[in-house]
Structure 1
Amino acid sequence: SFNSNTFMLYSGPPQSTQRNIIEKDDIHKTLLKMKNHNININFLVGHAPYIINLANPSLEKREFSINFLTQELNRFSQMKIPQMVLHPGNNLHKNKSEAIYWIAQGINKIFSNTPNLKTKIALETMAGKGNEIGANFEELKNIIDLIEDKTRISICFDTCHVFDAGYDIKNQFENTIKKFDKIINLKYLSVIHINDSKNCLGSKKRSS
């Protein structure tokens, strides 16, 4: 009814890592239904669950996240989805530089586990709630700088998150985009979440 040609989906509950096996026949039927409703498969976006944290100081938990996201990337690839949005992670260790390093190395490991896949990981801009990594463009750039295969990394620009993080896109949208381009480079922008914010500028609450 919206005449849209794209949408975003999860492969399971966004607050859980439990996943069911996806049957090839179901994928075929779904892709056919999308085609019949003018949905462009090239514009589809998947989203990883929120609870994954590649910056967890626990090696065991980071390895779990890497293994899960490797499987998740494979699932979205099977569904012909070209982008998987990922919340970068939460800095539980208090050493932000080390947390950023862990995130990047986790993504590098995921990519090395999936050398034949084309599905990208799109790091989402965050609001800065709690210990979130990625609430400023510099942190996202620092992650990208450490990624070995930069052809498979991109950015998801969430308007609610960016506003709540302190970027005044309401009054200075063009300046914000120029800043994004200068720090990260617009070539990495591949997904946009267009959301209003219930909060004031810089609230760091991320509710839309």
Structure 2
Amino acid sequence: MFTIGCHLSTTKGYAAMGRQALAIGANTFQFFSRNPRGGKAKAMDEKDVKQFLELAGANGIEIILAHAPYTLNACSADGGIREFAISTMEDDLRRMEYTPGNFYNFHPGSHVGQGVEAGVDYIAAMLNQLLKPEQTTVVLLETMAGKGSEIGRTFDELKLILDKVELKDKMGICMDTCHVYDAGYDIVNDLDGVLEEFDRIIGLDKLKAIHINDSKNPFESHKDRHEKIGDGTIGIAAMERIINHSALRQLPFFLETPNEIEGYEKEIRILKELRK
């Protein structure tokens, strides 16, 4: 099965997101766990959750992905910002258990001059504090483009975090095609080589989801600006290879391209046509 979806607004709740996904030809979706700039999340509506779970079960929505707010920086030099990250993720993971068995994705953060080692230690400490044996949610570290002092620009940096996490079965990786290309992994000309490197360093069993985005910037630019599918420097031919690759095709793909809902519907249709 080709599991494909896009980023949707949580404004109207889980059931509304599920219906909107189905209406545009998707069978999964991503959403922000709360305002992407941070702040308090809306109270959970158990009736809405029940309606969504029934809708998902009846229509083959097997997995969804929550995205942490961009302001979550577990490795900041500022203790207050780190505490915000911990309290936010703790609340998010509690809320995720209303829809069990899904994914929660976050940007590892920026060490802001402290160095990668210190940043990795902070991130791993947060995860070791928050992850619970009984949780059903898998937490995903996202591959990053490498702007500024971002951690996660290389597979090795992500591996450093994973190695320090105690409950390893609760962890995985979300690969963003725009980010890895901007970071210097040539998924256009050497997709096999990139995936072989990922497997050698982290292990393909840890790759749980794909953010399928084109890039506005050239290879190894270390920037992070998504482009619509086929309109960027990665291109449509590379996208076709990515969604059909034997190591990736069973994973869920999530669009985060600069689109309104009609644009996402068009891109989902294009990707379905490219699927072999």
For the superposition of Structure 1 and Structure 2, which TM-score range results when normalised by the shorter chain?
over 0.9
Residues 1:19 and 2:37 are matched in the alignment: no
Residues 1:38 and 2:60 are matched in the alignment: yes
Runs of 4+ that moved beyond 4 A: none
In the TM superposition, residue 36 of structure 1 has moved relative to its aligned partner by: 4.1
Paired with 1:141 and 1:17, the residues of 2 have a C-alpha distance of: 30
The residue identity in structure 1 corresponding to 2:149 is: N
In the TM superposition, residue 38 of structure 1 has moved relative to its aligned partner by: 3.1
Paired with 1:36 and 1:13, the residues of 2 have a C-alpha distance of: 29
Paired with 2:129 and 2:83, the residues of 1 have a C-alpha distance of: 10
Unaligned runs of at least 5 residues, structure 2: 1-22, 227-276
SS of the aligned residue for 1:78 comes to coil
Paired with 1:80 and 1:9, the residues of 2 have a C-alpha distance of: 15
SS of the aligned residue for 1:123 comes to strand
What is the 5 A alignment of 1:82-97? Answer: 82-97=102-117
SS of the aligned residue for 2:147 comes to coil
TM-score (norm. length: structure 1): 0.92
In the TM superposition, residue 93 of structure 1 has moved relative to its aligned partner by: 3.5
**Aligned residue among 138, 142, 147 for 1:124:** 142
TM-score (norm. length: structure 2): 0.70
The residue identity in structure 2 corresponding to 1:11 is: S
SS of the aligned residue for 2:69 comes to coil
State whether residues 97 and 137 of structure 2, in contact with CA within 8 Å, keep that contact through their aligned partners in structure 1: yes
Residues 1:107 and 2:124 are matched in the alignment: no
Partner of 2:196: 178
| More off after superposition, 84-93 vs 54-63 | 54-63
**Aligned residue among 81, 92, 114 for 1:72:** 92
In the TM superposition, residue 31 of structure 1 has moved relative to its aligned partner by: 2.2
Paired with 1:12 and 1:170, the residues of 2 have a C-alpha distance of: 34
The residue identity in structure 2 corresponding to 1:136 is: T
The residue identity in structure 1 corresponding to 2:194 is: T
Paired with 1:69 and 1:161, the residues of 2 have a C-alpha distance of: 23
Aligned length: 204
Residues 1:187 and 2:205 are matched in the alignment: yes
Paired with 2:219 and 2:55, the residues of 1 have a C-alpha distance of: 41
Task: Give the RMSD, CA atoms, in angstroms.
Answer: 1.5
Partner of 2:171: 153
SS of the aligned residue for 2:112 comes to coil
In the TM superposition, residue 78 of structure 1 has moved relative to its aligned partner by: 1.1
**Aligned residue among 29, 32, 48 for 2:51:** 29
| C-alpha distance after superposition, 1:120-175 (max 9, x if no partner) | 11000000111110010000000001001100010001100000001110001010
State whether residues 93 and 99 of structure 1, in contact with CA within 8 Å, keep that contact through their aligned partners in structure 2: no
| Percent identity of paired positions between Structure 1 and Structure 2 | 37
The residue identity in structure 1 corresponding to 2:192 is: E
| C-alpha distance after superposition, 1:73-102 (max 9, x if no partner) | 111221235110010011114322111111
Partner of 1:63: 83
Which has more radius of gyration? 2
